[in-house]
Amino acid sequence: MRIWPAADRLSEPWKNGAGTMAIIHTSPEEAGWDTLNWRISTAVITRPAPFSHFPGLDRVFTPYHGGTVTLHLPDGAHRITPGDAPFAFSGEAECYCDHETPETLVLNLQTRAPYRAVVAHDATVWDGPAEARYLFALEPVAALGLATGDLAELTSSERPATEKALFVAIRRA
């Protein structure tokens, strides 16, 4: 098991000043935007603003603490609240984010074909073949030694008993 502790993360401000982000893990590890297969990061959204474009990447947006956000995309407005199903959309899409609370915390995944990220609130997302399986702790997970906000890469046989986590599978499309 590999762990990326939340306490070790460095946040940096968004270019538009509407929040901050912290990269947790990129695969391959030294890859840049043009060569990454997937990237996992967190964000703190502090005010309404347009999202950056990520040509060639797909995104999965999962608010996990705070208030409702509304993503305005070419196909319409999508209201997403912590606890809702994760929301997938193209990184190339024009996207404007409205939000109504002082801050909203988000788990973000970006993938490049042939990879795709599947995120859920339970471990059933780990069923079936996957290139990688991750658990993002929404509260401490004592059995794994995880603090809130830690990310762990687990094997298919490791299934911690927790309901306060986001489960991520990276699959080949």
pLDDT tens readout for residues 5-19: 999 999 999 877 788
**Token pair of 64 as six digits:** 């996990």
CA pair distance 102, 5, nearest whole angstrom? 25
Is residue 2 assigned to a domain?
Answer: no
pLDDT for position 166:
96
Using one digit for the tens of pLDDT, what is the confidence trace for 58-117? 999 999 999 999 999 999 999 999 999 999 999 999 999 998 888 999 999 999 999 999
Please tell me whether residues 47 and 104 are part of one structural domain: yes
Based on the structure, what is the number of domains in the chain?
A: 2
More confident call, 141 vs 15 = 141
Please tell me whether residues 79 and 134 are part of one structural domain: no
CA pair distance 159, 165, nearest whole angstrom? 12
**Where do we find the tokens 């499309």?**
173
Choose one of 111, 134, 161: the last residue of a domain: 111
Q: What is the span of the domain harbouring residue 93?
A: 7-111
Amino acid at 48: P
Is residue 81 assigned to a domain?
Answer: yes
Instruction: Quote the pTM value.
Output: 0.94
Contact of 123 with 140, CB cutoff 8 Å: no
**Nearest Cα to Cα of residue 112 among 167, 51, 22, 34:** 34
Please tell me whether residues 57 and 95 are part of one structural domain: yes
Percent of the chain whose pLDDT exceeds 70: 100
